[in-house]
Amino acid sequence: MYNLKINPELRDFIPPLSGEEKKSLEDSLLKYGYKGAPIYTWHNYIVDGHNRYNLCMKHNIEFPVEELDLGDEATIIDVMEWMINTQLGRRNLPPQQRIAVVKKFEKKIREQAKVTQGTRTDLTSSPNGEEVKNTRTDKELAKLANVGTGTIARFNRVMSSDDEELKKKLLAGEVKINTAYEKIREKEKPKENVTTEPLQTIPKTYQEAAQLFGGLQQGHLPNRKNAETNDNFTDEQLLNALISSKTPVNVLDSIVPQQEFDIMTSTLLENVASCDYRIFDLHEVYKKMENEDIDYAITKFDSVIEAIMKLEEKIKEFVKETK
């Protein structure tokens, strides 16, 4: 009977079996003995088979062991990557738990990069003379977790929130990523700020409404360019203007320039994330895409970039003129 070593960091790297899964494994071992893959070790530390090892030791069941050969320069980083590639595909884990595993992996990479270079003496030493890449992109992490980059982004958004209970449920697999993400978005939606002050006059033109209300939503009122020809609002346009308005103020006084760019940025990023989600997760549109679709997408990306660059130049030009 082998007497193997256990490293808590490796033991806890992959989520443990549920009570039901562990009971099923124990019943199988008692009924049929040890079957299947060996317990894998690295320098006599278990890297795959912690549950099987504990149950076999408990019931005095013989088991095979195989030492991993990851090379002389291998570190715990290499071991963890091997565990991800080997065990995540085998375990029926929900996306959020797979992402949590690769996030722990990324954190370990950053920690490893800070370790002083030198001769390896234990499990956490860095390789001799070799630099450790201290980060992984979301695209690389998504590939390791076998999820889309949009899923990673939504997971990150939820985990960066202050809703501790929701985060706990997400990591426990009790709630799906998209459900948790929508809950966070719903909580962060600004509440309607409707004025309770009575209107002294009913605005009939865009200019009158603009002077009276701040925070008018685009599309609620007639187009600015056509303001002179649109002298009368419909009831719906006026209602929408009132719903989206703040207290009566001068519009220019109420505008904070940086907020305008915050709104633009958040809207763009949200639309990109939404498109990513529809293409790769929700509808898997990418499976239907041909080369001409890729060319079309690139054209659209370029048009957005061009519009942003034009806005940047326009801002620089007009701000200089006013100074």
What residue segments make up the domains of the chain, in order of their start?
1-92, 95-117+135-189, 257-322
Alpha helices in the chain (DSSP H): 8-11, 19-32, 50-59, 76-83, 95-114, 138-145, 149-159, 164-171, 177-188, 206-212, 235-244, 251-254, 257-277, 291-322
d(CA 92, CA 300): 38
Query: Which one, of 22, 91, 90, lies nearest residue 58 by Cα?
Result: 22
- Asked if residue 33 lies in contact with residue 61, where contact means CB atoms within 8 angstroms, the answer is yes
In the predicted model, is pLDDT for residue 110 greater than 60? yes
Q: Does domain 1-92 have CATH number 1.10.10?
A: no
Mean pLDDT of the chain: 77
**Where residue 25 falls among pLDDT bands split at 50, 70, 90?**
very high
Tokens representing 209?
Answer: 């409404």
In the predicted model, is pLDDT for residue 273 greater than 70? yes
**Where residue 1 falls among pLDDT bands split at 50, 70, 90?**
low
In the predicted model, is pLDDT for residue 249 greater than 60? no
Q: Which residues pair with 194 in a beta bridge?
A: none
Which pLDDT score, from 0 to 100, does residue 180 have?
92
**Where residue 79 falls among pLDDT bands split at 50, 70, 90?**
very high
Q: Would you say the C-alpha torsion 219, 223, 227, 232 has a positive or negative sign?
A: negative
d(CA 180, CA 157): 9
The whole model's pTM is what?
0.52
Q: How far is CA 162 from CA 103, 153, 188, 314, in A?
A: 19, 16, 11, 38
Residue 189 or 207, more confident: 189
In the predicted model, is pLDDT for residue 6 greater than 90? yes
d(CA 316, CA 38): 66
d(CA 56, CA 37): 14
